[in-house]
Structure 1
Amino acid sequence: MIHHKSIIEFGIIGLGRFGYALSKKLTELGKEIMAIDTIENRVKKVRNLTENAFLVGALDKETLLDCGIQNCATVVICIGDSIDLSVLTTLNVVSMEVPRVIARAMSYEQGLVLEKIGAEVISPENDMAVRLANRLVNSSILETIELRGDITVAEIKLTLKVSGLTVQELNLRQKYYLNIIALEHKGETITEIGPDCVLYEDDILVVVGKRENINMLEIHLAGQK
């Protein structure tokens, strides 16, 4: 087994539906990942996404060290089916002094235990894998609320690309079919926003619209289109 010395951004332990979705989204966002599981077909599936996919016999500390999980900046433990294994694996990773350890909890009680041993906790009800991936890579989307269908309310941090433009010039309704609900500028929230309102870098826009259109705006703000 290869022992990785260079820093890998994200380690993912447990490649069930949640772990695989997180792996896929992070690699789509251009991030390097390491993925580990004890089930062969899960590891084979992730090998399409990363060379650093390891099939292991157990998730004990020695095996995880052999894989090089301690060289990851963030490790996400996505084990859902066994609380004992989830807690023990989390404890092992925390003891390696990985800078950020995130663990998936299947119950409130499990979440409490995971927090006690030093992990950030996510639950499938509150954090779907794709949203977590977006949060991990610090995208300009700060928070989202999913409404019915594919309609989303999102907080979006504005970049230098649109600084100095007015609301009318940005033209979100015409270009992205998005409506502005509110604007936060230097800590002050404004809900009555006219077309001549000037936007600045680091302002936060609260918009409502389809998720795919919010993603297109995010790409534009990042300067990718």
Structure 2
Amino acid sequence: MVIGLGRFGGSVARELAGRGSEVLGIDSDPRIVQDYADDLTHTAVANTTDEDAMRQLGVADFQHAVVGIGTDLESSILTTSLLVDFQIRDIWAKAVSRRHGRILQRIGVHHVVLPEYEMGERVAHLVTGRMLDYLEFENDYALVKILAPAETVGRTLSDSGLRGRYGVTVVAIKRPDKDFTHAAPDTVIGRDDILIVAGTREAVEGFTDRV
């Protein structure tokens, strides 16, 4: 179930449907709902802050819910609180600010998404040119995609000693024109290889700053 079919919610709904999931899309705007009618399994126009309306839609039977309501904070909070009351097992909700996100967490949302903040942090890490991609998880743990540093070329991962020197672990490697594969201690790094490196945010930032 995806509630709020704006840019964020609509993208999530279409992607889920494209991956074969049955998706109920709900929005208060009939025109928006009509736009998604052919793409989703089911669509509905509803006031998602109305408990009776939500019950009639069978919301309590869903295991996963995504709330894409952002700018209308009251609707976002009231809608998510209803989903918590319905004991939905897995609730994802968009927040437009860190304060909004904290409120959603206190209500009982399992996963809070801050698209603008997260994209801003990601871009900030990429503009230096050292990282090809950056993904941060909770507890300051991150994955980065980086071109193989010169100091590792022609050496095995074990010989390069990246974990001991930088506190990072190479978890995957991509050869030119090949798919990503798991990295092993005896993997030899080539000049044009791309590495996926994991570690704490501080460790991976320190690593990419030095190489």
Q: Name the CA distance, whole Å, in 1 between partners of 2:20 and 2:48.
A: 29
Aligned to 2:7: 17
Q: Name the CA distance, whole Å, in 1 between partners of 2:117 and 2:22.
A: 25
CA contact (8 A) 1:34 1:69 kept: no
CA contact (8 A) 2:22 2:41 kept: no
Aligned to 1:193: 187
CA contact (8 A) 2:48 2:75 kept: no
| CA displacement at 1:116 relative to structure 2 | 0.4
Aligned to 1:125: 116
Aligned to 1:77: 67
Aligned to 1:216: none
| CA displacement at 1:177 relative to structure 2 | 7.3
Aligned to 2:158: none
Q: Relative CO higher for 1 or 2, CA cutoff 8 Å, sep ≥ 6?
A: 1
Q: 2:88 aligns with which of 75, 95, 98?
A: 98
| CA displacement at 1:101 relative to structure 2 | 1.1
Aligned to 2:37: 47
Larger Rg: 2
Q: Name the CA distance, whole Å, in 2 between partners of 1:98 and 1:172.
A: 39
Aligned to 2:22: 32
**Secondary structure of the equivalent of 2:63?**
strand
Q: Name the CA distance, whole Å, in 1 between partners of 2:67 and 2:48.
A: 14
Aligned to 1:116: 106
TM-score by length of 2: 0.61
CA deviation digits over 1:3-46, x for unaligned, max 9?
xxxxxxxx100001111111111112221111100001110111
Aligned to 1:173: 175
Which stretches in structure 2 are left out of the alignment for 5+ residues? 136-142, 144-172, 190-194, 198-211
CA contact (8 A) 1:80 1:105 kept: yes
Which stretches in structure 1 are left out of the alignment for 5+ residues? 1-10, 129-144, 156-170, 196-204, 208-225
Aligned to 2:57: 67
CA contact (8 A) 2:84 2:107 kept: yes
Q: 1:131-170 maps to which residues of 2 (within 5 A)?
A: 147=126, 151-152=132-133
CA contact (8 A) 1:153 1:206 kept: no
- Say if 1:58 and 1:194 are closer, same or farther in 2 by CA, change over 3 A: closer
Q: Name the CA distance, whole Å, in 1 between partners of 2:118 and 2:57.
A: 27
| CA displacement at 1:152 relative to structure 2 | 3.1
Greater shift in the superposed pair: 52-61 or 25-34: 52-61
**Secondary structure of the equivalent of 2:64?**
strand
State, as a whole percentage, how many aligned pairs show the same letter: 26
The residue type equivalent to 1:13 in the other structure is: I
Q: Name the CA distance, whole Å, in 1 between partners of 2:112 and 2:26.
A: 19
Structure with greater helix share of residues:
2
- Say if 1:30 and 1:118 are closer, same or farther in 2 by CA, change over 3 A: same
- Say if 1:126 and 1:177 are closer, same or farther in 2 by CA, change over 3 A: farther
Q: Name the CA distance, whole Å, in 1 between partners of 2:178 and 2:38.
A: 33
CA contact (8 A) 1:61 1:92 kept: yes
Q: Name the CA distance, whole Å, in 1 between partners of 2:30 and 2:50.
A: 17
